[in-house]
Amino acid sequence: MSICTKTGDKGTTSLFTGERIAKNSLRVQAYGTVDEVSSALGLARAFAQKEEVKQ
């Protein structure tokens, strides 16, 4: 299965606003970091034994 956006890969990515920024920008890195933290918290919550810890 191939996913193609037809925008090419020139090292940029598109934001929700349509603005294009470098894939290695601090903003994109921050989005990735927040996504990883959110995933880790969700996993921790799924395996938590105590209800107070889940909250």
For 2-41, write each residue's pLDDT tens digit.
877 777 778 899 889 999 999 999 999 999 999 999 999 9
- Encode 22-41: b = buried (16+ Cβ within 10 Å), e = exposed: eeeeeeeeeeeeeeeeeeee
Q: Any idea where the domains of the chain sit in the sequence?
A: 12-54
**Overall average pLDDT of the 39-48 stretch:** 94
Whether 16 and 27 have beta carbons less than 8 Å apart is answered as no
Alpha-carbon radius of gyration of the chain: 17
Q: Residue 38 in 3-state DSSP? A: helix
pLDDT score for 26: 97
pLDDT score for 2: 80
Residue 10 per-residue DSSP state: S
CA 13 to chain centre: 13
Global pTM value: 0.68
